[in-house]
C-alpha cells in the first residue's frame, strides 16, 4: 500500500516521502536529518531522491542523504544542481520499481528557469509540483516571466480533476487571505478558510489539495473568470485584454499584499 507522508522542515516546508512498507523515495529534501529520522522510525530503505528545482530549501539534504544511501537523484536537466545523477526534461519518465510508482516529467518554468513536476496516475493521480502551484496560490516568479508561469499553471490545470497536489510549503492560510481579497464572493473559498483555520489550529497539514478544489478557489487558476478579471482591472484601474495579463496583475498584487 502506497503512503505519501509530509516530513516538516524549516519553518513551513514539507519533504514528501513516498513509500510502501519497505522502501521510500523523497521529494525535495532541503535537509537530511528529519528524513533520516522518519526513515529509521518507519524502518524504510531509501530508493530515490526527486528534485523539482534548485533552491537550497529543496536540495540542501542531497549530499548527506547520498552519503548514507547509494540512490539515484532525479532532477531538472535545465538547472545546475550538485548531486543530480539523472537529469530530466518534459516527457521523461521515472520508474520507482521498489515502490511501484511511475512518474512522468512536466516542465513548469517560471518560479525558476528549469522547474519540473512529477506526475503519476497510479494508484491514484498525484503531482509533486514544488513551488509552482500551491493550495490557493502559486509561487513567486524569480527566473521566468508572468506569461511563462501562467502557461505552466495551465499545464497543471490540464491534469485530471482528482489529481492530488503535493506542493512543498504550508502557505495555504496566507494564500486564502489574499484570495478572499481578490475573490470576496466565492462561497467555496469562504468555506475553505474555515476548514483550513481549524486544521492549522491543531498543526495539521492542509496538503495535499485536489486540483478540482483549486480550480474552484485558487485565483491564479481562475484568471478567465469574471470576478477575478474585475478585481484585477479595478486594482490597476485599466482594462486587461487576456487571462495571462490578469494573472500578471494578480501575481504582482500578491507580491505586495
pLDDT computed for residue 186 by the predictor: 97
Known catalytic membership, residue 131? yes
Predicted pLDDT of residue 113:
95
Q: Is 53 a catalytic residue?
A: yes
Dihedral of the alpha carbons of 228, 134, 141, 229, in degrees to the nearest 10: 0
Q: Which of 19, 53, 54, 115 is catalytic?
A: 53
Predicted model pTM: 0.97
Reported as a single tens digit per residue, the pLDDT across 200-244 is 999 999 999 999 999 999 999 999 999 999 999 999 999 999 999
Q: How far apart are CA 85 and CA 78, in angstroms?
A: 13
Q: Residue ranges per domain, the chain?
A: 3-255
Which residue among 19, 23, 54, 58 is the active-site one? 58
Give the residue from 84, 83, 80, 106 showing the smallest Cα distance to 93. Answer: 106
C-alpha angle 8/14/17, rounded to 5°?
95
Task: For the chain, list residues with pLDDT below 70.
Answer: none
Q: CA 87, CA 81: separation in Å to the nearest integer?
A: 9
Whether residue 101 contacts residue 18, with contact meaning beta carbons closer than 8 Å, is answered with yes
Catalytic site residue from 28, 107, 131, 183: 131
Has 19 been annotated as catalytic? no
**In CATH, what is the architecture of 3-255?**
4-Layer Sandwich (3.60)
The phi and psi torsions of 46 (rounded to 5 degrees) equal -70, 135
Of 19, 54, 55, 115, which one is the catalytic site residue? 55
**Pick from 135, 248, 235: which is nearest to 189 by CA?**
135
Q: Residue 109 has what pLDDT?
A: 98
Per-residue model confidence (pLDDT) at position 194? 97
Q: Which of 19, 23, 115, 169 is catalytic?
A: 169
What CA–CA distance (Å, rounded) separates 246 from 93?
33
Helix, strand, coil percentages for the chain (3-state, nearest 5) = 35, 25, 40
Q: Which of 57, 107, 115, 183 is catalytic?
A: 57
Please enumerate in sequence order all residues whose Cβ is within 8 A of that of 150, keeping only pairs 6 or more positions apart, or say none. 110, 223, 243, 244, 247, 248
Amino acid at each position: 500500500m502506497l503512503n505519501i507522508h509530509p516530513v516538516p522542515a524549516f519553518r513551513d516546508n514539507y519533504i514528501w516521502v513516498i513509500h510502501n512498507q519497505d522502501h521510500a523515495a523523497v521529494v525535495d529534501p532541503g535537509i537530511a536529518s528529519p528524513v533520516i529520522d522518519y526513515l529509521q522510525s518507519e524502518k524504510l530503505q531509501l530508493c530515490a531522491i526527486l528534485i523539482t528545482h534548485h533552491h537550497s530549501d529543496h536540495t540542501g539534504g542531497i549530499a548527506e542523504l547520498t552519503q548514507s544511501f547509494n540512490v539515484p537523484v532525479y532532477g531538472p536537466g535545465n538547472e545546475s544542481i550538485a548531486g543530480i545523477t539523472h537529469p530530466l526534461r518534459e516527457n521523461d519518465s521515472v520508474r520507482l520499481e521498489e515502490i511501484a510508482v511511475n512518474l512522468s516529467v512536466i516542465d513548469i518554468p517560471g518560479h525558476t528557469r528549469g522547474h519540473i513536476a512529477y506526475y503519476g496516475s497510479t494508484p491514484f493521480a498525484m503531482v509533486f509540483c514544488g513551488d509552482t502551484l500551491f493550495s490557493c496560490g502559486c509561487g513567486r516568479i524569480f527566473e521566468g516571466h508572468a506569461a511563462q508561469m501562467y502557461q505552466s499553471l495551465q499545464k497543471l490545470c490540464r491534469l485530471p480533476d482528482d489529481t492530488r497536489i503535493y506542493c512543498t510549503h504550508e502557505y495555504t492560510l496566507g494564500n486564502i487571505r489574499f484570495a478572499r481579497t481578490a475573490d470576496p464572493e466565492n462561497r467555496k473559498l469562504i468555506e475553505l478558510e474555515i476548514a483550513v483555520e481549524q486544521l492549522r489550529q491543531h498543526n495539521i497539514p492542509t496538503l495535499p489539495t485536489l486540483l478540482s478544489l483549486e480550480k474552484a478557489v485558487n485565483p491564479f487558476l481562475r484568471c478567465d473568470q469574471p470576478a477575478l478579471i474585475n478585481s484585477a482591472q479595478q486594482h490597476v484601474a485599466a482594462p486587461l485584454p487576456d487571462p495571462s495579463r490578469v494573472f500578471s496583475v494578480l501575481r504582482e498584487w500578491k507580491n505586495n499584499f
